[in-house]
Amino acid sequence: MSDKVVLPRLDLPGQKTHWAVVAVIGGGVLVLLMAAIFLIVVHKQQAGQEAAARAMEARAKEAASQVERLKLEAVAAVERAKAAAAAAAAEKAKPTTPVAAGDDGNKTTGSSDGDSGKSGQRKKARKPSGGRKPGRVAGGKGGGVPSESTKKTDASVDALLRGLK
């Protein structure tokens, strides 16, 4: 019994991973990592594009509101111009009784029965220089003082503009 018994060596395949399996798993992890990076980059790009689109849309809305505001201001300016033109036309069409009364007053105060030709000189002396009519205010077409109709139209335009705001 002196013979030794040699038992076969048992190597189970599950004890050490084969290098091919390690390479396949490594490749899969690498592919998943690259896909994740790709998705993050694409997401950031889309978010940037959406933000730019929102900013452009906001600028377009702001520009549209400015255009609308300018249109309203232009309409108001046209209405004010029409009101001013109507007031000027009404002022022209208005009878000039205060001017005529001023001319009559100059004629009657300068003449008397006892004057010996000096009334003609007085008329010339009282005539304003520059050929202007008495009663006119220098420095403008419609005179220095606005008429009542002009004041009314200005007030109505102001009220209309306040209503638009």
The 10s digit of each residue's pLDDT in 13-43 is 656 778 899 999 999 999 999 999 999 999 9
Q: Cα–Cα distance between 102 and 123 in angstroms, integer?
A: 13
Neighbours of 56 (CB within 10 A): 10
Percent of the chain with pLDDT over 90: 39
Residue 91's closest CA among 153, 10, 29?
Answer: 153
pLDDT computed for residue 147 by the predictor: 57
Rounded mean pLDDT, 125-143: 52
Q: How confident is the model at residue 49 (pLDDT cuts 50, 70, 90)?
A: very high
Q: What is the pLDDT of residues 61-86, one digit of tens each?
A: 999 999 999 999 999 999 999 999 99
